[in-house]
Amino acid sequence: MTIDVRPASVFEDVRAVLGPKSPTANVCWCLSYRIPAKLNNQLRGPERGAYVAELCGADVAPGVLAYDGDEPVGWAAVAPRAETSFARSRTIPRLDELPVWSLWCVRVRPGHRKKGISHALIAGAVAFARDHGAPVVEAYPLDSGDAKVDLTMAYAGLRKNFERAGFVHAADTASVLAGHPRVLMRRDLR
């Protein structure tokens, strides 16, 4: 299997990975960290997908997609931290004034997991950020050790996967997800 990672500029492909089975469902669509909480709570059902469709049509895509042939099989959200709620986070520290990019969500479709797709997504997100001038990419994965992580909450990624991708532990955080602490990891692109 050859995985190709591309900018997430085709909405139908993003919908295949992130969208709900029912168009009226209020699923995340990977918006909870991208937009202010008030707007995130206001967008309901199909409005959420419409918002993501607009993001896919922007000059800079909202992330990257992994493809197995023509089939979209995974997603990673990556954007300048200043454009996310991480810019105002009280639990995830800001380490310096660099215009870092945040990589906060890695999702692989059921039936395609355990095939290295998350590794390809992390590498693809880093390359995408580098291509758009990012000096550093940050991630905020779970530091779960050997403990099993509920798949619905594993979107933040696992520390060991980011370490394999060349990220280093930069700081502890006060953020906890699914009972596991999150750490701030960085990959310097300078």
pLDDT in tens, 102-159: 999 999 999 899 899 999 999 999 999 999 999 999 999 999 988 888 888 889 999 9
pLDDT reading at 28 higher than 80: yes
Tens digits of residue pLDDT in 29-63: 999 999 999 999 999 999 999 999 999 999 999 99
pLDDT reading at 1 higher than 80: no
Which H or E run contains 115? none
Percent of the chain with pLDDT over 90: 87
Give the model's confidence band at 23: pLDDT under 50 very low, under 70 low, under 90 confident, else very high: confident
Give the model's confidence band at 66: pLDDT under 50 very low, under 70 low, under 90 confident, else very high: very high
Interatomic CA distance for residues 47 and 163, integer angstroms: 36
Percent of the chain with pLDDT over 70: 99
Give the model's confidence band at 74: pLDDT under 50 very low, under 70 low, under 90 confident, else very high: very high
Residue 2 pLDDT: 87
Residue 152 pLDDT: 81
How buried is residue 21: exposed, middle or buried, by Cβ count under 10 Å (0-12/13-18/19+)? exposed
Give the model's confidence band at 175: pLDDT under 50 very low, under 70 low, under 90 confident, else very high: very high
Please report, in angstroms and rounded to a whole number, the separation of the first and last CA atoms in the chain. Answer: 32
pTM: 0.95
Interatomic CA distance for residues 174 and 90, integer angstroms: 8
> C-alpha distances in angstroms, 19 versus 9, 40, 58, 95, 169?
15, 15, 19, 34, 32
Average pLDDT along the chain: 95
